[in-house]
């Protein structure tokens, strides 16, 4: 129960390139050798929370170590109509090659984010979308806010970590995906080896 709960919130919320390796596996082992008794509900909750924290750190390390990755990006969706819409929107943005290459170039290309949202199949209205890079609002009511906010966002994107938050104004649901940029090195690494 703790493993499934934690995996859903951590390992199932990351993406390097949208593909899944046949070797992708998460497991927790316990053999009872310590001789501990059963956990109380409060102790189990503490264990579950602690396990999820470790899993979050490990899953983030996978993204940081992605082939050729230079940046770690958290895509957060807020105000989605359904839980599925929130996750689908985050995953579609995170897996978009055009968005990921813009991340690599420190380009706050909100048109690519809007395009990913538009093809995701979620319930949305273009005029309801607001987008931030960290705390810099670059889109409001579906329209870009101009050169100055984009320049500030580009400066934030030059760092090794930043967030992109999309508010859909369709409901109360939210979700996230942690991803990375798509670089020349990614292509080189994946073109030069065969499994």
Which pLDDT belongs to residue 177? 98
Q: How much is the pLDDT for 195?
A: 66
Q: Residue 16's pLDDT band (boundaries 50, 70, 90)?
A: very high
User: What architecture is domain 72-186?
Assistant: Roll (3.10)
Inform me whether the pLDDT recorded for 56 exceeds 70: yes
pLDDT tens across 126-179, in order?
999 999 999 999 999 999 999 999 999 999 999 999 999 999 999 999 999 999
Which residues of the chain are in CATH 3.10.20.340 domains?
72-186
Per-residue confidence band for 182, with pLDDT thresholds at 50, 70 and 90 = very high
Q: What is the mean pLDDT of the chain?
A: 95
* Domain boundaries for CATH 3.30.2330.10 within the chain: 2-64
* Class of the CATH domain delimited by 2-64: alpha beta
Confidence of residue 29 (pLDDT cuts 50, 70, 90): confident
Q: What is the 3-state secondary structure (H, E, C) of the chain?
A: CHHHHHHHHCHHHEECCCCCCCCCCCCCCCCCCCCCCCCCHHHHHHHHHHHHHHHHHHHHHHHHCCCCCCCEEEEEEEEECCHHHHHHHHHHHHHCHHHHHHHHCCCCCHHHHHHHHHHCCCCCCHHHCEEEECCEEEEECCEECCHHHHHHHHHHHCCCEEEEEEECCCCCEEEEEEEECCCHHHHHHHHCCCC
């Amino acid at each position: 129960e703790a493993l499934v709960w934690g995996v859903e919130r951590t390992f199932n919320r990351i993406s390097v390139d949208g593909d899944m390796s046949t070797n992708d596996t998460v497991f927790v082992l316990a053999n009872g050798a310590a001789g501990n008794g059963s956990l109380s509900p409060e102790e189990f909750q503490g264990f579950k929370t602690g396990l999820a924290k470790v899993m979050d750190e490990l899953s983030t390390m996978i993204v940081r170590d992605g082939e050729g990755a230079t940046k770690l990006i958290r895509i957060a969706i807020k105000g989605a109509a359904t839980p599925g819409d929130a996750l689908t929107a985050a995953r579609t943005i995170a897996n978009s090659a055009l968005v990921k290459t813009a991340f690599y170039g420190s380009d706050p290309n909100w048109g690519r984010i809007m395009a990913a949202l538009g093809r995701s199949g979620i319930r949305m209205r273009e005029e309801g979308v607001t987008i931030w890079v960290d705390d810099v609002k670059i889109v409001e009511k579906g329209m870009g806010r101009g050169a100055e906010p984009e320049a500030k966002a580009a400066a934030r994107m030059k760092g090794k970590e930043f967030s992109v938050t999309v508010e859909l104004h369709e409901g109360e649901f939210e979700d996230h995906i942690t991803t990375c940029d798509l670089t020349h090195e990614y292509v080189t690494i994946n073109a030069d080896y065969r499994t």
